[in-house]
Chain A
Amino acid sequence: MQNAILSAFLGGIACSTVGVFVVLMHMPFIGVAMSHAAFAGALLGMWLGFNPLVGAFAFSLLAAAVIGPLADRGELSPETSLGVIFSLMLGIAFLFMGLMPGTKSGALELLWGSILANTRSDIILLAVVAVVVVGLILIFFKEIQATIFNRNMALSVGLPATLILYGILFLTGATVTTSLRSIGGLLIFSLILNPAAAAYQLTYSMKRMFLLSAVFGVLSGWIGLLFSYLFDIPSGATIVVTSSIIFMVAAIFSPKRKVKAWQVKPVMEGQ
């Protein structure tokens, strides 16, 4: 249980901070496409007998490498290209699952996740990713902020906005891969999207949005674990349902619903 609590903390921070990129860049499909790519890669590893984590990592990076240029050149709308990659990865995943000999229980575990079965090495990996994600956001906050706000504007003031975009995609891929075993390929998308979407309802400061999102991510993990323990139900599902409830509460009480009021009274938020 101690391992599960730590995993929920680290996975919650990593997924929900990455979620801020996904929400603010209006690319919610990134999480879905990445998680299914990671799932397909892990299944390839299982089928061919190498470490599923390596396969998951390679496939999610591959997805990032495909999504990046498509989003960058604007040849297709991001939603279209991500939709194509998502369906392709899902198809490949089921193809590998069909080709795998014997029982499919390992594959299904990756689909639904099993945070309670996390080992020490899983936690170390989650910790590394969480530290890298938070560290990079702290170091490159101004570049990330400008790129998220308007990539062309960031480029025009002399920032390496294309590099930052690729960095964001690779970070998303790495986070999805390491959280795959804990949360599961199907459910991880909610833990990326919901806490960030909830934070988005509550603040006009990007720094606070990152902070709130991380808090909501960790809370979703811990409260979800508690319900899973109390009612003996799958933890991945309770974590996702909790994160969805947090989003709904935030949306209901969002001060941004009263946009007209802001237009009369200036906002006095800190820098």
Chain B
Amino acid sequence: MATTVINIEDAVVSYREDIALRGVSLKVESGEFVGIIGPNGAGKTTLLTVVNGLGKLLSGRVRVLGNSLSRGNGHSLRKKVGYVAQVENIDPRMPMHVREVVMIGRYGVLGLFRRPRKHDWEIVDEMLELVGMTHLARRPIGHLSGGEQQRVAIARCLSQEPKLFLLDEPTASLDWKAKTDILELVRQIHDSRQLTTLFVTHDLSALPIACDRVVLMKEGLIKSEGSPGELLTDENLSELYDMPISAVQNRRRGVIPT
């Protein structure tokens, strides 16, 4: 029987004067692949920060992996939650190579005063192989393309051996081919490692096909949630993005707005 791994009840989060989440409730079962879509400023990223304990709740309750989130217990929770953000510009001269960056995923699990051992490096190498980056393991991280950097970010996240897999616009600024490859890799990893995955995107064409559930967000609220088939209609999407959208379902790419 599936257990509830994320339970958000009436969460309100604000940054300075702006309210980013206005009473959001969401339950996610173990093993689910949930796609969260909505326009910029909908509160999607904030929702993820609430799940990994970085968001500051004004009110509401959040239970993740059986722990109630409160001030101060975020560090221990984050060790079990893998988080992949969108591609960031990395200084090409940064003195770190790919293998070291993936090892950062182990640092939280290792804890203070403990150095990585052979076992940790073996996990790092295994994850690099999983994402197809073994051949670039000793390349300076700043020399990689955007798609390669996202593969490294996914390997770093997996080296944490997380229970939850959070992806925040992981395909933003990637070209079509890199985007498709990353989406397929994410789905494959979700299935093979039996993770619970939350995938956030504003880009409909970046929504992985075969999400178990889709959550539509707008203006800090969840507008609706349900199966992709029933929810991703032209009418719903047009209302969500405030413009006429005609979506085409594609076998390999999920939803393509036209």
Contacts and interface: CB of A to CB of B under 8 A. Distances in A.
Interface of A: 24, 26, 139-140, 142-143, 145-146, 149-150, 152-160, 200-201, 203-206, 208-209, 256, 259, 262-263, 266-269, 271
Closest 3 pairs (CB-CB, A-B): A158-B108, A158-B79, A158-B78
Given A143-B112, A150-B88, A267-B140, A159 B107 contact: yes
A157 B88 contact: no
B5 interface: no
B185 interface: no
A142 B107 contact: yes
Interface string B62-101: 0000000000000111110101010010011111110111
Interface of B: 52, 54, 75-79, 81, 83, 85, 88, 91-97, 99-101, 104-105, 107-110, 112-113, 115-116, 121, 135-136, 138-140, 143, 156, 160
Nearest to A153: B104
B79 A157 contact: yes
Contacts of A139: 113
Nearest to A268: B138
Contacts of A271: 99-100, 121
A168 to B, nearest CB: 16
Contacts of B75: 158-160
Given A262-B143, A267-B97, A271-B100, A157 B85 contact: no
B92 A149 contact: no
The residue among B78, B79, B139, B156 with the most chain A CB atoms within 10 A of its own CB is B139
A204 B140 contact: yes
Contacts of A269: 97, 138
A262 B100 contact: no
B97 A204 contact: yes
A205 B93 CA distance: 10
A259 B142 CA distance: 10
Nearest to B137: A266
Contact of A157 (B99, B104, B140, B143): B104
Contacts of A201: 93
Contacts of B143: 259, 262-263
B138 A142 contact: no
B95 A155 contact: no
Contacts of A259: 92, 143
Contacts of B139: 262, 266-267
B94 A155 contact: no
Given A200-B93, A204-B95, A259-B92, A146 B138 contact: no
